[in-house]
A and B are shown apart, each in its own frame.
Chain A
Amino acid sequence: MSSRQWLTSALRQIPSRAGLSQQLQQQPCTAKHLSTSAPAAALKHFPSSPRSSTANPGAQLSSLLEDDDSATPSPATQLSSTAALQNIYNQSSNQWGRGGTRTTNQRFSATDLRQSEQTKAYMDQMPRRWQAGDLYAPRDLSPAEMRKWHRRQKPKGDIIDVLGVSPLDNYRNFSLIADFITPFGRIKHSSDTGLRPVNQRKIAKTVRRAIGLGIHPSVHKHPELLVRASRNLPQANIAKKTDSPRSILG
């Protein structure tokens, strides 16, 4: 039995908290996000039911309450379900800011956030990603130089020659095709792709072939890539070793 199942069954044991348990069941994710502690620890604040016997989980709850700190309400105090929820919320927000009072934490994080934003704003003005081993002179830090790093340079080499792939065999490679078409699905010019004429013709044929076969849209990238991008997945599938031709034949 998982801890959440245990939690809900424990709540069902307490008749006066039936409404609350329903609430918790409906929004389990919210409670989980708010609290960094285990669900059982969050339940410490619930007063135990007088009907609970030693065998049922309500008793475990009451035993948990005994070694609780003074900040929590005493078990004898009867609380409404709203107040109980409020307690959970208070406790979780206390746990959120570890150490110190809540107000100082808030102030600290606000400063932190502002500094992060500031860092981001300034770093956006410095688009060069420095690598270990780069050499710089004062001029390399100048705005004129940084403007150049903002712009996307046209490719100089022929990427197809570098990779040594055959474009015509790659008509099902949608991520490859996506690199050579515009957002409106037109084939990019060789001045944009940087390919030599032979490879440019091959790439153009690949794109036309994929569209002509009906396996690639003619107006944009393949939707599979869009899904992958939205899920933060890599743009291409990595070939699996299990997909051997023998298994297809036999």
Chain B
Amino acid sequence: MASVRSVSPGGALLRASRLFSLPQPIPPPPGNQANSGSNHNSDSATLAFPTHQVITTMSSSRKRGDWGLKRPLPLKSTTKSTNAMLRIRQIDSIEQVTDYSSGADHGLSLRKFQELNIPVTVPPAAVDSYSIRPASRMNLPQRSAFEEDGDFTAIDPQKAAAMQDKRWKFTGPWLAGMTQGAFNKWVAKNVKPRRPEFLQFLKNKIAQENLQTALLKAQENGETLPTTADPASVTDEQLTDYLRKLRNDNQQLYELVGQFLDLAPLNPPTSDALAQLNPTTHVTLTQSGSPYAERGPPITHPSAGLSYLKTSMYLDNHPLYGPQRSHPPVQARVMNPRRSTINVQARIGLAGFVTDSPYGDTASNSRGQGSRALDKFDPELVGGAKIWVQPHSASVDARGRIKLNVGDAKEEDRLVALELLGEEKIFGELKKVEAKPSAAADLRNTYRSNGAYKSTRMSSSDGYGVGTLQFRYRPSQPQ
């Protein structure tokens, strides 16, 4: 171990230098493997999450090209940017140069995300961008990624099986997310060599079961209680019998194999649960197992370290109007309008993150003026079409991508936000608040929300006592 060995003065100097604070790059986001036959792609597009550490330096040091690296970096390409952010690919390449590029894309995205002031939740049930996606859009109560009962980073291996439905990290794969080829490879490489180990694991199980029956028997007969289970005493015959029993009990077999290989939990997605929703249908919220069973466990901590807010239940204070009911709305860029003929959904970009336009019975979904920016592309708009939205929460999916949950912004909130920017004056002018914008350009640029506004309840006192980890829609027939 390096920590035990005494470190030489040169080594100590290196360890204290910034050179060693650069972590190893992480693997890039997994692409869609099934699409690898025909992919339209760009190798220089911004990745969904950063793979390299972004480093910065003081402006005085930047002027000298000093980034704390082996050699000063060229001033011409590093001093022009407003934001001193660099990504170091290689400290010393074979051509004896430092390989660097701008890191402003991810660095600024993080800053912008933190300005949104939204908490990160565990992924809501069944987020599917092409099916009827109810749960995440219906403003159901959601759980923060930092709730104590689900936020494990260090797990006792003895308790790992018991915490199956709560933890997010598994050493085994999530079977539903594997392709057939990857599965075959994994079985041949990682599972088959462990056969003797699995038999030993089963022997331990049998010994435990034997101990339980012996304990019961001893209690009934008033004898001294046996203390330890002895796997060595399990005969091969007993093991064969147990294996035969297991073959007829798929559930038990899956549980044992899952425990042994530490497989991530599986659940079929609850995608179109709300499809049959009508006035006579009941919807009951029931507890489901792991929140990661439907879409796979995340590759990072479920918060991805983006935000450490546990809840969005805090009040924003306005210097003139006092505490506000809702958080300040945010302007979102319309990345592409919806095009129903080729089944393209409208997407909006918020703080650099692309997300779906607000769902449900909202102004942006009603046919008419409210949704013009999402329906048509207007080349005359300087800077592109933008709409005001209210970000509620974010979640990290199984591929490490950030999914924002947004709703329509209230018109009053929009005006207040504009006044803070100095683009609108409404203080003391009540009529303006009540007036509706009528010019077409206004409507294309911004829209009014006439629908009901709801904020997502999250980790509030309402949620306590319910004892649920994750809500799921289960439509049931009326009694």
Contact = CB atoms under 8 A, between A and B. Distances in A.
A208 B49 CA distance: 44
B184 A135 contact: no
Contacts of A140: 45-46
B352 A135 contact: yes
Given A119-B339, A129-B344, A179-B37, 5 more contacts: A135-B402, A137-B46, A152-B39, A159-B36, A162-B33
Interface in A100-151: 115-116, 118-120, 122-123, 126-137, 139-140, 145, 148-151
Contacts of B180: 163-165
Contact of B336 (A130, A139, A157, A163): A130
A183 interface: no
Interface stretch (B214-222, B353-361, B419-427): B353-361
A127 B105 contact: no
A28 interface: no
A164 B33 CA distance: 12
A128 B43 CA distance: 13
Contact of A134 (B33, B43, B48): B48
A155 interface: yes
16 contacts: A119-B376, A122-B379, A123-B336, A130-B349, A131-B129, A132-B404, A133-B399, A137-B108, A139-B46, A145-B42, A148-B43, A156-B36, A157-B33, A162-B36, A164-B184, A164-B185
A135 B108 contact: no
Interface centre among A120, A131, A155, A165 (most CB of B within 10 A): A131
A134 B354 contact: yes
Given A134-B354, A149-B41, A163-B179, A122 B36 contact: no
Interface string B224-246: 00000000000000000000000
Contacts of A132: 129, 347, 354-356, 401, 403-404
Nearest to B335: A130
B349 A155 contact: no
A120 B339 contact: yes
A162 B336 contact: no
The 9 A-B residue pairs with the shortest CB-CB distance, nearest first, are A133-B401, A164-B181, A164-B180, A137-B105, A148-B42, A134-B354, A119-B377, A130-B347, A157-B36
A242 interface: no
Contacts of B33: 157, 162
Interface string B378-408: 1100000000000000000101011110000
Interface string B131-150: 00000000000000000000
Interface centre among B40, B180, B355, B399 (most CB of A within 10 A): B40
Interface centre among B106, B184, B401 (most CB of A within 10 A): B401
Contacts of A155: 36-39
B183 interface: yes
B174 to A, nearest CB: 17
B108 A122 contact: no
B104 interface: yes
A194 interface: yes
A133 B337 contact: no
Contacts of A137: 46, 104-105, 108-109, 352
B403 A135 contact: no
B452 interface: no
B94 interface: no
Contacts of A150: 40
Contacts of A164: 179-185
B315 interface: no
Interface in B35-61: 36-49
Nearest to A129: B344
A161 interface: yes
A135 B106 contact: yes
A118 B377 CA distance: 7
B34 interface: yes
A56 to B, nearest CB: 41
A30 interface: no
B412 to A, nearest CB: 28
B130 to A, nearest CB: 11
Contacts of B39: 152-153, 155
Contacts of A116: 376
A122 B377 contact: yes
A133 B402 contact: yes
Given A152-B40, A153-B40, A155-B39, A133 B48 contact: yes
Contacts of A157: 33, 36
A145 to B, nearest CB: 6
